[in-house]
């Protein structure tokens, strides 16, 4: 049923690093639809030990991918967690076996709206079924089963990655020794949904979106996707960080131009963020993945009480939040901690002082790194993993 | 901090365990049975938790207000959350711990009475230590100088002290009576943290003790 296949048929994709797993057995999704065969694009770093006890699953955020620890194959930029993952780093590839997947619905090789629907031979577009965070985890579990890993040493991720961590810990507690949800929430708030809706509307308002059918028509809703990215990017930064970086500085000019060109540095910065994003991301994927976040409500999946999601768990948790993160603020992370306390779970919780906003989980934050390293070292000792 | 030093820290566990605990913490540790479940509220940098985990094999958890304290604990592999006694005890279910420790923190809580009720809801026993505002030096200071005492455990001016609910040993005993809880053990300590053998309920202890240390349990009906 399960087979590894060489990288895809398109040459450009074939050259990309990493692996693909194609699972023939259809996946039953939360929506009621089934999806199959399912492709899971993934990458690994380090070596799986003999008893397969040193595997860490890294879950990526909204626009992340399976390349946390190596240059992005499209943009060439450093991996999104290259400060954290690598030889001798906190997620030490000399010690741990790191697994990163591209989420279901993504656009870096896993099954998603950009890929070809085997039934029609055309890109899925909006006929791709709507997926949830739990569906992403279902797909990842297929991979972990395939790799023969009984218990993951740790599942770790920030933002939407943290939601996958929570979902893993809630649905497969016996397979997760340690869980590290970072800068995340157990449910999307009205504000979170609202910002995502702005992004989706920007994409769908772009005439090049073609009701989601742009790939078949050879078009690309780049302007809509860029605006979506610009709006979202503001939510990743704190007001003080934006002010420190840009203030009211003008862009290569002495005075304002009384027009709508990018007079201000911050405008130019956002335009750059938007236009560079469209080179590496698919607009429909953006719709599907933001929707998955919006639908996430772990308490609702467990009778309305978040603590029920973790009842009887033996997983060791470390929840980390950042003081200036207003997208997934400390209060949301603390709600997870309280639920874990109510379930008598083993939990650590650190709020890291920083003015870098939500983005802090992707940046070099010494307190964050030291906390995570200490937590993982402690867990490794309990797990009986040899220290380096 | 490199992985190597973190690793060394753990290998040096024996040495760390051999380091003597601060006087009052050593007394707290003596009250705790090996292998039990312990919640240390206001655990600082985890000195007591670390000792209990290594030497007594307890399943230890902590709550600490300061970020530096929490980070130090988690960095050393202890399970500690950032929070405080007033807001974060409510989430724990009844009887989740054998002992809940509140060491030198009661006087800094907003609702000391509610905090003690929580301690005894979530723990079978509560171990509480606090500075004694009835100590003769405090009384003398106030009597002679007419100013709020700023000495020893009260090293803050009245306007910036975190210690907003100071009490005497006798005040504390009266509160336990009002709450209907049992004092299983009580110790009074001098300035050096050494225990002395006076009945903590008596006026003399209230005059001479720098600190009170009590182990409480719910009254069995």
Asked whether residue A352 is domain-assigned, the answer is yes
DSSP annotation of A219: -
Q: Are residues A243 and A169 in the same domain?
A: no
- Domain containing B136 equals 3-218
Q: Both A108 and A96 in a single domain?
A: yes
The residue ranges of chain A whose pLDDT is under 70 are 1-12, 14, 387-388
Per-residue pLDDT, A386: 74
Catalytic residue among A206, A263, A325, A359: A325
Residue A163 lies in a domain: yes
Q: What is the pLDDT of residue B180?
A: 95
Is A349 in contact with B96 (Cβ distance < 8 A)? no
pLDDT at B4: 34
CA distance A160 to A137: 12
Preceding omega of A37 cis (within 30 degrees of 0):
yes
Provide the CATH number for the domain around residue A246.
1.10.1740.110
Task: Give contacts of A387 with chain B, Cβ < 8 Å.
Answer: 3, 7, 10-11
Q: What is the pLDDT of residue B16?
A: 45
CA pair distance A111, A102, nearest whole angstrom = 9
Strands A316-322 and A346-352: parallel
Q: Are residues A302 and A361 in the same domain?
A: yes
Domain identity same for A137 and A167: yes
What are B187's strand-pairing partners?
B213
How confident is the prediction along chain B (221 residues), in pLDDT tens digits per residue? 333 333 333 333 444 444 678 878 999 999 999 999 999 999 999 999 999 999 999 999 999 998 889 989 998 889 999 999 999 999 999 999 999 999 999 999 999 999 999 999 999 999 999 999 999 999 999 999 998 887 655 678 888 888 999 999 999 999 999 999 999 999 999 888 888 878 878 889 999 999 999 999 987 65
Record: contact B92-A92, CB cut-off 8 A: no
> What is the model's pLDDT at position A388?
58
Q: Are residues A378 and A277 in the same domain?
A: no
CA A122, CA A259: separation in Å to the nearest integer?
A: 44
Mutate: best of B91, B95, B96, partner A, most A CBs <10 A: B91
Secondary element (H or E) of residue A34: strand A34-35
Q: B42: which 2 tokens?
A: 């206001």
Q: How many CB pairs under 8 A join A and B?
A: 89
Q: What are phi and psi of A375, to 5 degrees?
A: -60, -50
Predicted pLDDT of residue A15: 77
- Whether A23 and A166 map to the same domain: the answer is yes
Judgement on whether residues A151 and A70 belong to the same structural domain of the protein: yes
* ipTM entry: 0.83
The parent domain of residue A118 ranges over 2-189+298-383
pLDDT at B3: 35
The count of domains in chain A is 2
For an interface test with B, which of A95, A306, A373, A377 has the most B Cβ atoms less than 10 Å from its Cβ?
A377
Which helix (H) or strand (E) segment holds residue A316: the answer is: strand A316-322
| A211 inside domain | yes
- B118–chain A Cβ distance below 8 A for any pair: no
Q: Quick check: B7 and A337 CB within 8 A? A: no
A377 and B67 in contact by Cβ < 8 A? no
Whether residue A37 is found in the same domain as residue A54: yes
Give the residue from A290, A323, A347 where a domain finishes.
Answer: A290
Burial of A182 from C-beta contacts in 10 A (0-12 / 13-18 / 19+) = buried
Instruction: Give the count of domains, chain B.
Output: 1
For residues A270 and A175, membership in a common domain is answered with: no
Whether residues A90 and A121 fall in one domain: yes
Q: Please tell me the predicted confidence (pLDDT) of residue B17.
A: 46
Provide the 3-class DSSP secondary structure of residue B187: strand
User: What CATH number is attached to the domain comprising A110?
Assistant: 3.40.50.1820
Tally Cβ neighbours within 10 Å of residue B204. 11
Residue A87 CB partners (closer than 8 Å, separation 6+): A93, A94
Shared domain for A104 and A154, answered yes or no, is yes
Asked if A379 and A177 touch (Cβ cutoff 8 Å), the reply is yes
Are the beta carbons of B67 and A344 separated by less than 8 Å?
no
pLDDT at position B154 is: 64
Residue A116 in any domain: the answer is yes
Query: What Cα–Cα distance (Å) separates residue A36 from each residue in A14, A39, A40, A111?
Result: 21, 8, 11, 9
> What does the pLDDT read at residue B9?
33
Residue numbers in B near A367 (CB within 8 A): 67, 71
With CA atoms as reference, report the closest residue to A28 among A132, A114, A127: A132
Q: Let me know whether A156 and A239 are in one domain.
A: no
Which token pair is A221?
A: 């809703």
- Judged by a CB distance cut-off of 8 A, whether residue B80 touches chain A is yes
pLDDT for B68 equals 87
Residue A388 lies in a domain: no
Torsion of CA A22, A82, A231, A185, to 10 degrees: 70
Q: Report the chain A residue with the minimal C-alpha distance to residue B8.
A: A387
How much is the pLDDT for A366? 94
Rounded-to-integer distance, Cα A278 and Cα A274, Å: 7
Q: What is the CA radius of gyration of chain B?
A: 18
**B43: domain CATH number?**
3.40.50.150
């Amino acid at each position: 049923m399960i087979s590894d296949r060489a990288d895809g048929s398109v040459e450009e994709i074939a050259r990309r690093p990493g692996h693909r797993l194609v699972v023939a057995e259809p996946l039953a999704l939360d929506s009621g639809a089934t999806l199959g065969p399912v492709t899971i694009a993934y990458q690994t770093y380090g070596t799986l030990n003999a008893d397969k006890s040193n595997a860490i699953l890294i879950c990526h955020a909204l626009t992340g991918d399976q390349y946390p620890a190596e240059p992005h194959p499209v943009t060439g930029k450093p991996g999104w967690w290259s400060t954290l993952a690598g030889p001798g780093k906190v997620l030490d590839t000399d010690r741990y076996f790191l697994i990163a997947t591209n989420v279901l619905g993504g656009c870096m090789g896993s099954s998603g709206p950009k890929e070809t629907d085997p039934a029609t031979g055309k890109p899925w577009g909006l006929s791709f079924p709507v997926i949830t965070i739990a569906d992403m985890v279902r797909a990842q579990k297929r991979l972990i089963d395939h790799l023969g890993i009984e218990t993951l040493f740790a599942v770790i991720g920030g933002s939407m990655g943290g939601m996958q961590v929570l979902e893993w810990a809630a649905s497969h507690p016996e397979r997760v020794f340690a869980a590290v949800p970072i800068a995340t929430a157990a449910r999307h708030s009205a504000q979170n949904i609202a910002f995502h809706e702005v992004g989706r509307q920007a994409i769908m308002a772009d005439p090049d979106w073609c009701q989601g059918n742009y790939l078949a028509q050879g078009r690309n809703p780049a302007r809509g996707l860029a605006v979506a990215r610009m709006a979202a990017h503001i939510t990743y930064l704190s007001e003080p960080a934006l002010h420190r970086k840009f203030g009211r500085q003008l862009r290569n000019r002495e005075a304002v131009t009384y027009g709508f060109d990018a007079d201000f540095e911050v405008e130019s910065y956002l335009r750059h963020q938007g236009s560079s994003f469209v080179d590496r991301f698919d607009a429909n994927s953006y719709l599907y993945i933001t929707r998955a976040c919006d639908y996430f409500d772990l308490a609702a999946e467990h009778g309305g009480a978040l603590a029920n999601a973790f009842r009887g768990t033996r997983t060791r948790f470390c929840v980390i939040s950042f003081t200036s993160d207003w997208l997934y603020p400390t209060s949301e992370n603390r709600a997870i901690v309280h639920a874990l306390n109510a379930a008598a779970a083993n939990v650590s919780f650190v709020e890291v002082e920083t003015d870098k906003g939500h983005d802090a989980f992707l940046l070099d934050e010494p307190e964050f790194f030291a906390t995570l390293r200490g937590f993982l070292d402690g867990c490794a000792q309990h797990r009986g993993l040899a220290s380096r | 901090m490199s992985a190597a030093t973190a690793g060394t820290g753990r290998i040096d566990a024996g040495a760390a365990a051999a380091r003597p605990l601060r006087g009052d913490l050593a007394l707290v540790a003596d009250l705790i049975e090996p292998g039990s479940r312990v919640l240390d509220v206001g655990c600082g940098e985890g000195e007591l938790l670390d000792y209990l985990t290594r030497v007594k094999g307890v399943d230890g958890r902590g709550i600490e207000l300061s970020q530096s304290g929490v980070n130090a604990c988690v960095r050393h592999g202890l399970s500690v959350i950032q929070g405080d006694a007033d807001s974060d005890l409510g989430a724990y279910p009844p009887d989740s711990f054998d002992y809940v420790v509140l060491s030198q923190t009661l006087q800094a809580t907003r609702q000391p009475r509610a905090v003690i009720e929580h301690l005894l809801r979530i723990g079978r026993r509560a171990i509480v230590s606090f500075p004694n505002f009835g100590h003769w030096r405090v009384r003398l200071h106030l009597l002679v100088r007419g100013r709020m005492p700023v000495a020893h455990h009260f090293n803050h001016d009245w306007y910036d002290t975190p210690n907003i609910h100071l009490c005497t040993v006798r005040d504390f005993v009266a509160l336990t009576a009002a709450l209907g809880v049992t004092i299983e053990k009580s110790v009074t300590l001098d300035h050096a943290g050494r225990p002395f053998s006076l009945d903590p309920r008596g006026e003399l202890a209230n005059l001479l003790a720098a600190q009170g240390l009590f182990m409480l349990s719910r009254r069995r009906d």
